[in-house]
């Protein structure tokens, strides 16, 4: 039986390295699922044994998003995906309490929205947007153009030439951006167009291979044409710790700005680990985008804890890492250029890399020390 989240709590709070650690002997706010289970872990009905909480799991954080003015987002499974937020009271409670923005983890990707050349499927994405609207949350659109999770018909498209491929790409963007116009705060227009490291270059994809580098500018221009107010992002992984790859992104940005191609921001996915990238490198990377007058969004944050069998010290170290990353963002990106911070999932069990326990909540929905670390970073 779940208990009220307003249940009186008794917490012993210590402050260490700027981070609040709480040891709770009763049930705390948002530790609600840790209250009722016979095992002390709450027994969330869809919880995974791979990510149960220590019995002392608790948090002093009552609401992440209320600690700041920029969007604090979370990617959610939706529709009939395993652990969809639509069917999960526990996920809904966490989302409403801590997050002011949602990203669709999968259902707005081309393979789901545009399964056949002449068939679009809106129901699931519309349902999620309605849910966000009803609960006062904004939506970040993910993703218009990517080399993965494409529809088979796109991969097999028999375009005669670059112009035919460009028309196909623009038709997709135009139809999708038009459908959602006015309902989204921002779009990932293009995702992961560059390769990694010192040899960073354009990534081979159906888009680059068939259209050439112009596909990037064409995609942004098409998205802007359908929605004058939505923020348009280029999104990629690794760019907070890979200066060569970031340089490719920045040269695209510079080229866009020279040629009046619309772009509002750069999304740093930040699927990172405990040591990489160094905080100084993260700050330098954000600064490059800030210097160009664009918004910076941490779009898919999760942090590999470094072991598949973490102990209490590992969870505390991960909390410190979350704190440092969030503080780096707040301290480097001016308020007007903060597109927000989104974590890539609610619980460790939901995560696309659940084996490395990278998120803010345990599989039983109780809060990890990482939640306190994230909050402490916002308050620096």
Active site residues: 192, 300
Of 74 and 169, the one with the shorter C-beta distance to ligand XIL is 74
* Site size with ligand XIL, rule: CB under 6 A: 6
Which residue sits closest to ligand XIL, CB atoms considered? 352
Whole-angstrom distance, CA of residue 356 vs CA of residue 44: 20
In this structure, the dihedral spanned by the alpha carbons of residues 131, 133, 138 and 143, taken in order and rounded to 10 degrees, is 50
Question: Measured from the CB of residue 300, what is the shortest distance to ligand XIL in angstroms?
Answer: 6
Of 106 and 185, the one with the shorter C-beta distance to ligand XIL is 106
Instruction: Please report whether residue 105 would count as binding ligand XIL according to CB under 6 A.
Output: yes
Question: Measured from the CB of residue 105, what is the shortest distance to ligand XIL in angstroms?
Answer: 5
Of 21 and 140, the one with the shorter C-beta distance to ligand XIL is 140
Question: Measured from the CB of residue 197, what is the shortest distance to ligand XIL in angstroms?
Answer: 18
Of 29 and 325, the one with the shorter C-beta distance to ligand XIL is 325
Instruction: Please report whether residue 83 would count as binding ligand XIL according to CB under 6 A.
Output: no
Whole-angstrom distance, CA of residue 294 vs CA of residue 234: 11
Question: Measured from the CB of residue 345, what is the shortest distance to ligand XIL in angstroms?
Answer: 7
Instruction: Please report whether residue 106 would count as binding ligand XIL according to CB under 6 A.
Output: yes
Give the residue among 134, 127, 239, 128 at the shortest CA–CA distance from 193.
Answer: 239
Touching ligand XIL, residues 291-350 (CB under 6 A): 300
The answer to whether the bond into 277 is cis (omega within 30° of 0) is yes
Do 269 and 342 contact (CB within 8 A), yes or no?
no
Whole-angstrom distance, CA of residue 124 vs CA of residue 129: 9
Touching ligand XIL, residues 36-75 (CB under 6 A): none
Radius of gyration of the chain (CA): 21
Question: Measured from the CB of residue 81, what is the shortest distance to ligand XIL in angstroms?
Answer: 8
Of 191 and 240, the one with the shorter C-beta distance to ligand XIL is 191
Binding mask 247-286 for ligand XIL (x = CB under 6 A): ----------------------x-----------------
Of 42 and 110, the one with the shorter C-beta distance to ligand XIL is 110
Touching ligand XIL, residues 184-203 (CB under 6 A): 191
Touching ligand XIL, residues 343-362 (CB under 6 A): 352
Return residues touching ligand XIL (CB under 6 A).
105-106, 191, 269, 300, 352
């Amino acid at each position: 039986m779940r208990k009220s989240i307003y249940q009186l709590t008794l917490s012993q709070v210590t402050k260490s390295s700027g981070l609040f650690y709480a040891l709770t002997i009763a049930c705390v706010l948002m530790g609600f699922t840790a209250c009722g289970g016979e095992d002390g872990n709450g027994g969330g009905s869809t919880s995974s044994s791979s990510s149960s909480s220590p019995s002392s799991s608790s948090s002093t954080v009552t609401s992440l998003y209320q600690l700041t003015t920029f969007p604090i987002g979370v990617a959610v499974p939706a529709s009939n995906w395993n652990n969809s937020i639509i069917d999960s009271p526990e996920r809904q409670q966490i989302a409403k309490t801590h997050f002011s923005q949602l990203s669709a983890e999968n259902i707005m990707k081309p393979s789901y929205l545009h399964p056949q050349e002449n068939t679009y499927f809106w129901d699931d994405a519309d349902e999620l947007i309605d849910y966000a609207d009803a609960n006062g949350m904004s939506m970040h659109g993910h993703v218009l153009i990517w080399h993965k999770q494409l529809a088979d018909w796109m991969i097999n498209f028999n375009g005669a030439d670059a112009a035919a491929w460009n028309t196909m790409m623009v038709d997709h963007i135009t139809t999708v951006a038009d459908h959602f116009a006015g309902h989204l705060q921002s779009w990932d227009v293009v995702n992961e167009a560059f390769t990694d490291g010192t040899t960073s270059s354009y990534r081979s994809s159906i888009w680059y291979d068939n259209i050439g580098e112009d596909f990037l500018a064409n995609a942004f221009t098409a998205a802007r044409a359908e929605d004058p107010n939505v923020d348009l992002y280029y999104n990629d992984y690794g760019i907070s710790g890979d200066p060569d790859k970031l340089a490719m992104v920045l040269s695209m940005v510079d080229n866009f700005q020279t040629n009046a191609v619309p772009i509002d921001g750069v999304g740093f996915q930040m699927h990172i680990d405990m040591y990489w990238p160094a905080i100084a490198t993260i700050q330098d990377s954000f600064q490059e985008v800030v210097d160009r007058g664009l918004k910076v969004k941490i779009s898919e944050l999760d942090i590999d804890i470094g072991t598949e069998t973490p102990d209490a010290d590992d969870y505390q170290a991960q909390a410190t890492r979350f704190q440092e990353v969030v503080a780096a963002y707040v301290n480097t990106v001016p308020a007007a250029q903060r597109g927000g911070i989104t974590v890539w999932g609610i619980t460790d069990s939901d995560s696309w890399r659940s084996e490395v326990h990278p998120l803010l909540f345990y599989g039983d929905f109780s809060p990890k020390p990482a939640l306190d670390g994230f909050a402490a970073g916002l308050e620096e």
